[in-house]
Amino acid sequence: MGAVREETSGKTETKASSDLPREMKIAGERLYTGRVLSLEVDRVRLAGGAEAVREVVRHPGAAVVVPMLDDGRVVLVRQFRYAAGETLLELPAGKRDGNEDPAACAARELAEETGFAAARLEYLAGFFTAPGFTDEFIHCFLASGLRPVAGPGQDADEELELRFVTLDEARRLIASGEIRDAKTIVGLLLYATRRGQETGGG
């Protein structure tokens, strides 16, 4: 059976009809709190009674946007990622500010990173980025009816370039390895699936 994500006071929770035994937290310590994330080290009791240590990166969650122009092209951004050590081609995305609504986060990031506002924001799906060590959950939206908008612009620590690609081009960029960012691959494949459902093709 599947699981349903629900927003409760800004915190996304999972309700599943059939869960495996849960791990119970015995003790924990927060080792670091930063602008974007925090690091916790917890001791847990497993279902069989044994104990284990879990290192968890806590994250407020994020939104990623698939911005679709009227001609069907998708807006991507190129930016240098320090952690990866290279420039990546990505969909616009960013973390939620506190209990910010995911759709509001998506609209804000779209405007800041691309200079576009959307007449329509459609929720596609949500997913964990790396549940082996972080609770980060990303909400993916399709943005259409784009129009240029005057806004606050990109963050002071970001240098971005825009690139406009067709869906077929995006697929080739994924296959060739030029697009290697996970949330971007997921978002584009979700968009491709949606397009296939609308047209009756793949």
Sequential pLDDT tens for the chain (202 residues): 444 455 544 444 555 556 788 999 999 999 999 999 999 999 999 999 999 999 999 999 999 999 999 999 999 999 999 999 999 999 999 999 999 999 999 999 999 999 999 999 999 999 999 999 999 999 999 999 999 997 555 555 668 999 999 999 999 999 999 999 999 999 999 999 998 877 776 5
Q: Would residue 112 be called left, alpha or beta, if left means φ above 0 and alpha means ψ between -120 and 50 degrees?
A: alpha
The residue from 13, 55, 158, 161 that is catalytic is 158
pLDDT at 8: 43
Task: Please tell me the number of Cα atoms within 13 Å of 16 on its side-chain side.
Answer: 9
Q: What does DSSP say about strands 93-95 and 116-128: parallel, antiparallel, or unpaired?
A: unpaired
User: Catalytic residue at 6?
Assistant: no
Residue type, 94: G
CA-based R_g, the chain, Å:
19
**What are the residue ranges spanned by the domains of the chain?**
3-58, 62-199
Say if residues 160 and 113 touch (Cβ distance below 8 Å).
Answer: yes
Chosen CATH of 62-199 out of 3.40.190.170, 3.40.50.360, 3.90.79.10, 3.40.630.30: 3.90.79.10
In the chain, which ranges are E strands? 3-8, 11-16, 24-33, 38-45, 51-58, 62-67, 74-81, 86-90, 93-95, 116-128, 137-148, 161-165
Residue type, 174: I
pLDDT at 118: 98
Query: CA-to-CA distance for 171 and 69, rounded, in angstroms?
Result: 17
pLDDT at 196: 85
Q: Which of 124, 84, 81 is nearest to 106 (CA)?
A: 124
Task: Return the DSSP state at 19.
Answer: P
Buried b (16+ CB within 10 A) or exposed e, 145-179: ebeeeeeeebeeeeebeeeebebeebeebbeeeeb
Predicted model pTM: 0.85
pLDDT at 19: 79
Structure tokens at 37: 């994330």
- Strand, helix or coil for residue 43: strand
Residue 84: in which H helix or E strand, if any? none
